[in-house]
Amino acid sequence: MVSRRSLLRAVPIAAAALTAAPGAPRWLGPSSTSTSADRVPPDLTTMQAAATAVRGFTADLYRTVASTRSGGNVVCAPYSVGLALGMTRAGAGSVTADEMDAVLHAPHPRPSALDSGLNTIDQTLAERYQDGDGTRRPRLTTANALWTHVDLGLRPGFQETLAGYYGAAPHPVDFRDAPEAARQQINTWVSDRTNAKIPELLQSDAVNSDTRLILTNALYLMAAWKYPFTAAATAVEPFTRDDGGIVNVPIMRGPFDRMGYLEGDGWRAVDVPYAGDGLAMAIVMPTRGDLAAVEANLNVTWLGALLAGFQITDVQLRLPRWRFRLPVELRAALGSLGMPTAFTPQADFTGMSTDTALCIDDVVHETFIAVDEKGTEAAAATAVIVRPPSVPQGPQFFVNRPFLYVIHDLLTGVPLFLGRVHDPLVAGQA
Protein backbone atom coordinates (compact mmCIF):
# COMPACT_ATOMS: atom_id res chain seq x y z
CA MET A 1 0.00 0.00 0.00
CA VAL A 2 1.04 3.59 -0.54
CA SER A 3 1.97 5.86 2.33
CA ARG A 4 -0.01 8.98 3.12
CA ARG A 5 2.66 11.25 1.68
CA SER A 6 2.88 9.29 -1.55
CA LEU A 7 -0.88 9.59 -2.12
CA LEU A 8 -3.21 12.50 -1.80
CA ARG A 9 -5.33 11.33 1.06
CA ALA A 10 -8.77 12.87 0.96
CA VAL A 11 -10.06 14.66 3.96
CA PRO A 12 -11.96 11.66 5.16
CA ILE A 13 -15.04 12.04 3.01
CA ALA A 14 -17.80 9.68 3.94
CA ALA A 15 -19.83 9.00 0.83
CA ALA A 16 -23.47 9.59 1.49
CA ALA A 17 -25.07 6.54 3.01
CA LEU A 18 -27.18 5.00 0.30
CA THR A 19 -30.59 5.25 1.84
CA ALA A 20 -33.94 4.45 0.41
CA ALA A 21 -36.77 6.86 -0.22
CA PRO A 22 -39.17 7.23 2.70
CA GLY A 23 -41.03 4.01 3.34
CA ALA A 24 -38.70 1.84 1.25
CA PRO A 25 -36.43 -0.84 2.74
CA ARG A 26 -32.96 0.45 3.54
CA TRP A 27 -29.61 -1.34 3.87
CA LEU A 28 -27.37 0.48 6.33
CA GLY A 29 -24.53 -2.00 6.51
CA PRO A 30 -22.74 -3.12 9.67
CA SER A 31 -22.54 -0.62 12.53
CA SER A 32 -24.39 2.14 10.70
CA THR A 33 -26.46 4.32 12.99
CA SER A 34 -28.16 6.64 10.50
CA THR A 35 -31.86 6.10 9.90
CA SER A 36 -34.08 6.88 6.94
CA ALA A 37 -36.06 9.18 9.23
CA ASP A 38 -33.01 11.47 9.31
CA ARG A 39 -33.13 12.09 5.57
CA VAL A 40 -34.65 15.05 3.79
CA PRO A 41 -37.19 13.76 1.22
CA PRO A 42 -35.92 13.61 -2.39
CA ASP A 43 -36.64 16.65 -4.58
CA LEU A 44 -36.73 15.48 -8.20
CA THR A 45 -36.54 19.08 -9.46
CA THR A 46 -32.90 19.22 -8.27
CA MET A 47 -31.70 15.90 -9.70
CA GLN A 48 -30.88 16.88 -13.28
CA ALA A 49 -28.66 19.82 -12.30
CA ALA A 50 -26.86 17.69 -9.72
CA ALA A 51 -26.32 14.87 -12.24
CA THR A 52 -24.78 17.41 -14.65
CA ALA A 53 -22.54 18.61 -11.81
CA VAL A 54 -21.42 15.02 -11.11
CA ARG A 55 -20.58 14.49 -14.78
CA GLY A 56 -18.58 17.72 -14.87
CA PHE A 57 -16.61 16.86 -11.74
CA THR A 58 -16.12 13.29 -13.00
CA ALA A 59 -14.60 14.47 -16.28
CA ASP A 60 -12.33 17.02 -14.59
CA LEU A 61 -11.07 14.69 -11.87
CA TYR A 62 -10.52 11.76 -14.22
CA ARG A 63 -8.47 13.86 -16.67
CA THR A 64 -6.34 15.17 -13.83
CA VAL A 65 -5.72 11.73 -12.28
CA ALA A 66 -5.10 10.09 -15.67
CA SER A 67 -2.55 12.75 -16.63
CA THR A 68 -0.34 11.61 -13.76
CA ARG A 69 -0.39 7.98 -14.97
CA SER A 70 0.60 8.27 -18.61
CA GLY A 71 0.47 4.85 -20.26
CA GLY A 72 -0.92 3.11 -17.18
CA ASN A 73 -4.25 1.69 -16.06
CA VAL A 74 -6.59 4.04 -14.20
CA VAL A 75 -9.74 3.60 -12.15
CA CYS A 76 -11.49 6.09 -9.89
CA ALA A 77 -14.96 6.89 -8.58
CA PRO A 78 -15.46 10.68 -8.69
CA TYR A 79 -19.03 10.13 -7.49
CA SER A 80 -17.58 8.93 -4.17
CA VAL A 81 -15.15 11.85 -4.02
CA GLY A 82 -17.94 14.29 -4.90
CA LEU A 83 -20.13 13.05 -2.07
CA ALA A 84 -17.27 13.41 0.37
CA LEU A 85 -16.43 16.89 -0.83
CA GLY A 86 -20.12 17.82 -0.76
CA MET A 87 -20.18 17.00 2.93
CA THR A 88 -16.99 18.95 3.50
CA ARG A 89 -18.39 21.92 1.57
CA ALA A 90 -21.28 22.03 4.06
CA GLY A 91 -18.84 23.43 6.64
CA ALA A 92 -16.96 25.81 4.33
CA GLY A 93 -17.25 29.58 4.00
CA SER A 94 -15.96 32.58 2.03
CA VAL A 95 -13.28 31.87 -0.64
CA THR A 96 -12.96 28.24 0.45
CA ALA A 97 -16.65 27.63 -0.29
CA ASP A 98 -16.52 29.50 -3.61
CA GLU A 99 -13.56 27.43 -4.82
CA MET A 100 -15.17 24.16 -3.77
CA ASP A 101 -18.42 25.13 -5.52
CA ALA A 102 -16.51 25.80 -8.75
CA VAL A 103 -14.62 22.49 -8.62
CA LEU A 104 -17.82 20.56 -7.85
CA HIS A 105 -19.73 22.36 -10.66
CA ALA A 106 -22.29 23.18 -7.96
CA PRO A 107 -25.60 24.45 -9.39
CA HIS A 108 -27.37 27.55 -8.07
CA PRO A 109 -28.56 28.34 -5.51
CA ARG A 110 -25.42 27.30 -3.65
CA PRO A 111 -24.98 25.18 -1.64
CA SER A 112 -28.59 24.04 -1.18
CA ALA A 113 -29.11 22.88 -4.79
CA LEU A 114 -26.06 20.62 -4.64
CA ASP A 115 -26.97 19.17 -1.23
CA SER A 116 -30.56 18.53 -2.33
CA GLY A 117 -29.57 17.13 -5.72
CA LEU A 118 -26.98 14.71 -4.33
CA ASN A 119 -29.49 13.61 -1.69
CA THR A 120 -32.06 12.95 -4.42
CA ILE A 121 -29.60 10.99 -6.59
CA ASP A 122 -28.48 8.99 -3.56
CA GLN A 123 -31.99 8.04 -2.49
CA THR A 124 -33.04 7.30 -6.09
CA LEU A 125 -30.13 4.89 -6.55
CA ALA A 126 -30.77 3.35 -3.12
CA GLU A 127 -34.41 2.69 -3.87
CA ARG A 128 -33.48 0.89 -7.09
CA TYR A 129 -30.28 -0.96 -6.19
CA GLN A 130 -29.47 -1.24 -2.49
CA ASP A 131 -31.56 -4.42 -2.12
CA GLY A 132 -30.34 -6.00 -5.36
CA ASP A 133 -28.90 -9.50 -5.24
CA GLY A 134 -26.00 -8.70 -7.59
CA THR A 135 -27.25 -11.28 -10.09
CA ARG A 136 -30.76 -10.55 -11.34
CA ARG A 137 -30.45 -6.92 -10.26
CA PRO A 138 -27.30 -4.92 -9.40
CA ARG A 139 -26.43 -4.30 -5.78
CA LEU A 140 -25.16 -0.75 -5.32
CA THR A 141 -24.66 0.70 -1.85
CA THR A 142 -23.14 3.90 -0.53
CA ALA A 143 -22.47 5.01 3.02
CA ASN A 144 -21.26 8.23 4.62
CA ALA A 145 -19.92 8.91 8.08
CA LEU A 146 -18.53 11.76 10.15
CA TRP A 147 -15.67 10.91 12.54
CA THR A 148 -14.95 13.60 15.12
CA HIS A 149 -12.64 13.94 18.10
CA VAL A 150 -14.60 13.31 21.29
CA ASP A 151 -14.47 16.91 22.54
CA LEU A 152 -14.77 18.74 19.21
CA GLY A 153 -17.71 21.13 19.24
CA LEU A 154 -19.69 20.84 16.01
CA ARG A 155 -22.08 23.48 14.74
CA PRO A 156 -25.68 22.18 14.77
CA GLY A 157 -26.32 23.35 11.19
CA PHE A 158 -23.35 21.32 9.90
CA GLN A 159 -24.56 18.16 11.66
CA GLU A 160 -28.11 18.68 10.39
CA THR A 161 -26.94 19.07 6.78
CA LEU A 162 -24.82 15.92 6.93
CA ALA A 163 -27.61 13.88 8.52
CA GLY A 164 -30.42 15.23 6.35
CA TYR A 165 -28.77 15.36 2.92
CA TYR A 166 -25.96 12.80 3.20
CA GLY A 167 -27.20 10.31 5.79
CA ALA A 168 -23.88 10.72 7.61
CA ALA A 169 -23.99 9.49 11.18
CA PRO A 170 -21.51 11.00 13.67
CA HIS A 171 -18.91 8.72 15.29
CA PRO A 172 -16.93 10.20 18.23
CA VAL A 173 -13.37 8.85 18.41
CA ASP A 174 -10.26 9.75 20.39
CA PHE A 175 -7.85 11.12 17.82
CA ARG A 176 -5.65 12.81 20.43
CA ASP A 177 -4.85 9.90 22.74
CA ALA A 178 -5.70 6.87 20.56
CA PRO A 179 -5.18 7.81 16.90
CA GLU A 180 -4.27 4.27 15.85
CA ALA A 181 -7.43 2.83 17.36
CA ALA A 182 -9.44 5.52 15.56
CA ARG A 183 -7.71 4.72 12.26
CA GLN A 184 -8.47 1.02 12.61
CA GLN A 185 -12.10 1.74 13.47
CA ILE A 186 -12.51 3.88 10.35
CA ASN A 187 -10.78 1.32 8.14
CA THR A 188 -13.03 -1.42 9.52
CA TRP A 189 -16.10 0.70 8.75
CA VAL A 190 -14.91 1.17 5.15
CA SER A 191 -13.97 -2.48 4.73
CA ASP A 192 -17.36 -3.65 6.01
CA ARG A 193 -19.14 -1.45 3.47
CA THR A 194 -16.99 -2.41 0.48
CA ASN A 195 -17.10 -6.19 0.94
CA ALA A 196 -13.48 -6.03 2.16
CA LYS A 197 -12.34 -4.69 -1.22
CA ILE A 198 -10.96 -1.50 0.40
CA PRO A 199 -9.48 -2.97 3.59
CA GLU A 200 -7.11 -0.13 4.55
CA LEU A 201 -8.10 3.23 3.13
CA LEU A 202 -6.15 5.14 5.79
CA GLN A 203 -2.48 4.22 5.99
CA SER A 204 -0.53 4.13 9.25
CA ASP A 205 0.57 7.78 9.08
CA ALA A 206 -2.76 9.21 7.86
CA VAL A 207 -4.20 9.80 11.34
CA ASN A 208 -2.38 11.37 14.28
CA SER A 209 -3.08 13.28 17.48
CA ASP A 210 -3.69 16.51 15.51
CA THR A 211 -6.56 15.02 13.50
CA ARG A 212 -9.86 16.57 14.47
CA LEU A 213 -12.41 15.38 11.92
CA ILE A 214 -12.66 12.88 9.06
CA LEU A 215 -15.47 12.54 6.51
CA THR A 216 -15.71 9.15 4.81
CA ASN A 217 -17.58 7.65 1.88
CA ALA A 218 -17.83 4.03 0.82
CA LEU A 219 -19.28 2.85 -2.50
CA TYR A 220 -19.83 -0.78 -3.52
CA LEU A 221 -21.15 -2.43 -6.69
CA MET A 222 -21.86 -6.05 -7.59
CA ALA A 223 -23.55 -6.51 -10.98
CA ALA A 224 -24.00 -9.41 -13.39
CA TRP A 225 -24.04 -8.87 -17.15
CA LYS A 226 -27.41 -8.98 -18.84
CA TYR A 227 -25.77 -11.22 -21.43
CA PRO A 228 -23.12 -13.28 -19.57
CA PHE A 229 -20.03 -14.30 -21.47
CA THR A 230 -19.38 -18.02 -21.88
CA ALA A 231 -16.26 -18.96 -19.94
CA ALA A 232 -15.53 -21.82 -22.31
CA ALA A 233 -15.33 -19.34 -25.18
CA THR A 234 -12.70 -17.16 -23.46
CA ALA A 235 -9.36 -17.48 -25.24
CA VAL A 236 -5.93 -15.91 -24.89
CA GLU A 237 -5.45 -13.37 -27.68
CA PRO A 238 -3.12 -10.42 -28.37
CA PHE A 239 -3.89 -6.96 -26.95
CA THR A 240 -1.88 -4.02 -28.36
CA ARG A 241 -0.93 -1.29 -25.88
CA ASP A 242 -0.53 2.34 -26.95
CA ASP A 243 3.26 2.03 -26.65
CA GLY A 244 3.16 -0.67 -29.33
CA GLY A 245 3.80 -3.54 -26.93
CA ILE A 246 1.68 -6.64 -27.35
CA VAL A 247 0.46 -8.72 -24.41
CA ASN A 248 -1.52 -11.94 -24.57
CA VAL A 249 -4.63 -11.66 -22.41
CA PRO A 250 -7.86 -13.61 -21.80
CA ILE A 251 -10.48 -12.23 -24.20
CA MET A 252 -14.13 -12.94 -23.39
CA ARG A 253 -16.46 -13.58 -26.33
CA GLY A 254 -20.03 -12.38 -26.08
CA PRO A 255 -23.12 -13.55 -27.90
CA PHE A 256 -24.73 -11.57 -30.71
CA ASP A 257 -26.94 -9.39 -28.54
CA ARG A 258 -28.61 -5.99 -28.50
CA MET A 259 -26.81 -3.20 -26.69
CA GLY A 260 -25.98 0.48 -27.10
CA TYR A 261 -23.62 1.50 -29.91
CA LEU A 262 -22.29 4.96 -30.81
CA GLU A 263 -19.64 6.41 -33.12
CA GLY A 264 -17.93 9.77 -32.71
CA ASP A 265 -14.99 11.71 -34.12
CA GLY A 266 -12.07 9.32 -33.74
CA TRP A 267 -13.80 6.81 -31.49
CA ARG A 268 -16.60 4.30 -31.21
CA ALA A 269 -18.33 2.90 -28.14
CA VAL A 270 -20.59 0.15 -26.86
CA ASP A 271 -22.79 0.28 -23.76
CA VAL A 272 -22.79 -3.17 -22.17
CA PRO A 273 -25.93 -3.64 -20.02
CA TYR A 274 -26.04 -5.24 -16.61
CA ALA A 275 -28.92 -7.48 -15.56
CA GLY A 276 -31.98 -5.47 -14.60
CA ASP A 277 -31.37 -2.88 -17.35
CA GLY A 278 -30.62 -0.05 -14.93
CA LEU A 279 -26.82 0.11 -15.07
CA ALA A 280 -24.39 -0.30 -17.94
CA MET A 281 -20.69 -0.07 -18.72
CA ALA A 282 -19.80 2.23 -21.62
CA ILE A 283 -16.59 1.16 -23.36
CA VAL A 284 -14.89 3.69 -25.64
CA MET A 285 -12.11 2.72 -28.04
CA PRO A 286 -10.22 5.03 -30.45
CA THR A 287 -10.61 4.47 -34.19
CA ARG A 288 -7.52 6.56 -34.95
CA GLY A 289 -4.58 7.64 -32.86
CA ASP A 290 -4.35 6.49 -29.27
CA LEU A 291 -6.60 6.69 -26.23
CA ALA A 292 -4.98 9.94 -25.09
CA ALA A 293 -6.63 11.72 -28.03
CA VAL A 294 -10.05 10.57 -26.79
CA GLU A 295 -9.28 11.50 -23.17
CA ALA A 296 -8.21 15.00 -24.24
CA ASN A 297 -11.82 15.71 -25.26
CA LEU A 298 -13.33 14.33 -22.06
CA ASN A 299 -15.44 17.06 -20.49
CA VAL A 300 -18.97 17.49 -19.13
CA THR A 301 -20.46 17.97 -22.62
CA TRP A 302 -18.66 14.99 -24.18
CA LEU A 303 -19.48 12.68 -21.26
CA GLY A 304 -23.14 13.72 -21.21
CA ALA A 305 -23.47 13.18 -24.98
CA LEU A 306 -21.80 9.77 -24.73
CA LEU A 307 -24.04 8.45 -21.96
CA ALA A 308 -27.22 9.78 -23.61
CA GLY A 309 -26.35 9.01 -27.23
CA PHE A 310 -26.32 5.22 -27.50
CA GLN A 311 -28.55 3.55 -30.11
CA ILE A 312 -29.58 -0.08 -29.56
CA THR A 313 -28.28 -2.57 -32.11
CA ASP A 314 -26.82 -6.07 -32.31
CA VAL A 315 -23.17 -6.16 -31.24
CA GLN A 316 -20.66 -9.00 -31.26
CA LEU A 317 -18.51 -8.13 -28.29
CA ARG A 318 -15.05 -9.40 -27.40
CA LEU A 319 -13.71 -7.91 -24.19
CA PRO A 320 -10.68 -8.64 -21.99
CA ARG A 321 -10.96 -9.65 -18.37
CA TRP A 322 -9.24 -7.28 -15.96
CA ARG A 323 -8.75 -6.65 -12.27
CA PHE A 324 -7.20 -3.46 -10.93
CA ARG A 325 -6.76 -1.44 -7.75
CA LEU A 326 -5.59 2.17 -7.48
CA PRO A 327 -5.03 4.27 -4.35
CA VAL A 328 -4.55 7.88 -5.43
CA GLU A 329 -3.62 11.24 -3.94
CA LEU A 330 -6.14 13.98 -4.58
CA ARG A 331 -4.78 17.00 -2.71
CA ALA A 332 -2.66 18.18 -5.65
CA ALA A 333 -5.34 17.24 -8.17
CA LEU A 334 -8.07 19.16 -6.35
CA GLY A 335 -5.79 22.12 -5.84
CA SER A 336 -4.99 22.26 -9.54
CA LEU A 337 -8.69 22.04 -10.38
CA GLY A 338 -9.32 25.23 -8.43
CA MET A 339 -9.71 24.68 -4.67
CA PRO A 340 -6.21 25.27 -3.22
CA THR A 341 -7.34 27.40 -0.27
CA ALA A 342 -9.02 24.46 1.52
CA PHE A 343 -5.58 22.92 2.13
CA THR A 344 -3.95 26.04 3.58
CA PRO A 345 -4.06 27.99 6.87
CA GLN A 346 -6.34 30.46 5.04
CA ALA A 347 -9.07 27.82 4.77
CA ASP A 348 -12.48 28.76 6.15
CA PHE A 349 -14.27 25.78 7.72
CA THR A 350 -15.86 27.79 10.50
CA GLY A 351 -19.19 26.24 9.55
CA MET A 352 -17.98 22.91 10.96
CA SER A 353 -16.84 23.76 14.46
CA THR A 354 -16.73 26.53 17.03
CA ASP A 355 -13.58 25.15 18.66
CA THR A 356 -10.62 25.77 16.36
CA ALA A 357 -9.45 26.81 12.92
CA LEU A 358 -9.46 23.86 10.52
CA CYS A 359 -8.12 23.00 7.07
CA ILE A 360 -8.02 19.88 4.90
CA ASP A 361 -4.83 17.91 5.47
CA ASP A 362 -5.41 15.24 2.84
CA VAL A 363 -8.03 13.70 0.55
CA VAL A 364 -7.56 9.96 0.17
CA HIS A 365 -9.29 7.86 -2.48
CA GLU A 366 -8.98 4.19 -3.42
CA THR A 367 -10.85 2.20 -6.07
CA PHE A 368 -11.04 -1.49 -6.96
CA ILE A 369 -12.59 -3.16 -10.01
CA ALA A 370 -12.79 -6.75 -11.25
CA VAL A 371 -14.44 -7.66 -14.58
CA ASP A 372 -14.98 -11.25 -15.74
CA GLU A 373 -17.43 -13.44 -17.66
CA LYS A 374 -20.16 -13.10 -15.01
CA GLY A 375 -20.09 -9.37 -14.40
CA THR A 376 -18.40 -6.63 -12.38
CA GLU A 377 -17.45 -6.06 -8.76
CA ALA A 378 -16.23 -2.57 -7.91
CA ALA A 379 -15.65 -0.57 -4.75
CA ALA A 380 -14.36 2.84 -3.81
CA ALA A 381 -13.78 4.86 -0.67
CA THR A 382 -12.84 8.45 0.01
CA ALA A 383 -11.67 10.17 3.17
CA VAL A 384 -11.26 13.87 3.86
CA ILE A 385 -8.94 14.47 6.81
CA VAL A 386 -9.31 17.78 8.65
CA ARG A 387 -6.82 19.22 11.10
CA PRO A 388 -5.80 22.59 12.52
CA PRO A 389 -3.44 24.47 10.16
CA SER A 390 0.29 23.98 10.69
CA VAL A 391 3.40 25.77 9.48
CA PRO A 392 4.57 24.32 6.12
CA GLN A 393 7.61 22.04 6.48
CA GLY A 394 9.18 22.88 3.09
CA PRO A 395 8.67 21.54 -0.46
CA GLN A 396 6.70 18.59 -0.44
CA PHE A 397 -15.44 -4.09 -30.03
CA PHE A 398 -12.89 -6.18 -30.50
CA VAL A 399 -11.41 -4.56 -27.55
CA ASN A 400 -7.79 -5.42 -28.24
CA ARG A 401 -6.23 -2.04 -27.52
CA PRO A 402 -6.45 0.49 -24.69
CA PHE A 403 -9.95 1.70 -23.88
CA LEU A 404 -11.92 3.98 -21.59
CA TYR A 405 -14.81 2.65 -19.51
CA VAL A 406 -17.64 4.31 -17.56
CA ILE A 407 -20.03 2.43 -15.27
CA HIS A 408 -23.15 4.58 -15.16
CA ASP A 409 -26.79 4.71 -14.15
CA LEU A 410 -29.09 4.93 -17.16
CA LEU A 411 -31.93 6.83 -15.49
CA THR A 412 -29.98 9.65 -13.86
CA GLY A 413 -27.01 9.71 -16.24
CA VAL A 414 -24.70 9.63 -13.22
CA PRO A 415 -21.26 8.07 -13.84
CA LEU A 416 -20.22 5.87 -10.89
CA PHE A 417 -16.82 4.45 -11.87
CA LEU A 418 -14.49 5.67 -14.64
CA GLY A 419 -11.20 4.30 -15.84
CA ARG A 420 -8.98 3.12 -18.65
CA VAL A 421 -7.33 -0.20 -19.40
CA HIS A 422 -3.86 0.15 -20.92
CA ASP A 423 -2.80 -3.39 -20.05
CA PRO A 424 -5.39 -5.91 -18.77
CA LEU A 425 -2.67 -7.99 -17.11
CA VAL A 426 -1.65 -5.22 -14.68
CA ALA A 427 -3.49 -5.66 -11.39
CA GLY A 428 -2.37 -2.45 -9.66
CA GLN A 429 -1.54 -2.00 -5.99
CA ALA A 430 -2.47 -5.04 -3.93
Number of neighbouring beta carbons within 10 Å of residue 315: 18
Q: What's the average model confidence in pLDDT over 151-169?
A: 95
Query: Which pLDDT belongs to residue 37?
Result: 53
Q: What's the average model confidence in pLDDT over 249-275?
A: 92
Query: Which pLDDT belongs to residue 15?
Result: 32
Kindly indicate the confidence band of residue 38, based on its pLDDT and cuts at 50, 70 and 90.
Answer: confident
Delimit the domains of the chain by residue range: 36-224+324-387, 231-320+397-421
DSSP assignment string, 349-382: -TTTBSSS--EEEEEEEEEEEEE-SSEEEEEEEE
Query: Which pLDDT belongs to residue 354?
Result: 86
Query: Which pLDDT belongs to residue 428?
Result: 76
Query: Which pLDDT belongs to residue 20?
Result: 28
Query: Which pLDDT belongs to residue 13?
Result: 34
Q: What angle do CA 405, 411, 416 make, to 5 degrees?
A: 35
Query: Which pLDDT belongs to residue 3?
Result: 33
DSSP assignment string, 319-344: EE-EEEEEEEE-HHHHHHHT--GGGS
Q: What's the average model confidence in pLDDT over 290-313?
A: 95
Name the pairing type of β-strands 415-421 and 74-76.
antiparallel
Query: Which pLDDT belongs to residue 36?
Result: 54
Query: Which pLDDT belongs to residue 83?
Result: 98
Query: Which pLDDT belongs to residue 257?
Result: 83
Kindly indicate the confidence band of residue 396, based on its pLDDT and cuts at 50, 70 and 90.
Answer: very low
Q: Which of 10-24, 243-257, 264-278 has the lowest mean pLDDT?
A: 10-24
Q: What's the average model confidence in pLDDT over 340-350?
A: 96
What is the CA 376 to chain-centroid distance, rounded? 15
- Candidates 3.20.20.70, 3.30.365.10, 2.30.39.10, 3.90.740.10; CATH matching 231-320+397-421: 2.30.39.10
Kindly indicate the confidence band of residue 429, based on its pLDDT and cuts at 50, 70 and 90.
Answer: low
Same fold, 36-224+324-387 and 231-320+397-421: no
Kindly indicate the confidence band of residue 14, based on its pLDDT and cuts at 50, 70 and 90.
Answer: very low
Mean pLDDT over all residues of the chain?
A: 89
Q: What's the average model confidence in pLDDT over 411-421?
A: 96
Query: Which pLDDT belongs to residue 325?
Result: 97
Reply yes or no: is the peptide bond before residue 402 cis, omega within 30 of 0.
no
**For 200-248, how does the pLDDT look when each residue is reduced to its tens digit (9 = 90+)?**
999 998 999 999 999 999 999 999 999 999 898 999 999 999 889 999 9
> CATH number of the domain at 36-224+324-387, please?
3.30.497.10
Upper half-sphere CA count for residue 379 (Cβ side, 13 Å): 17
Query: Which pLDDT belongs to residue 286?
Result: 95
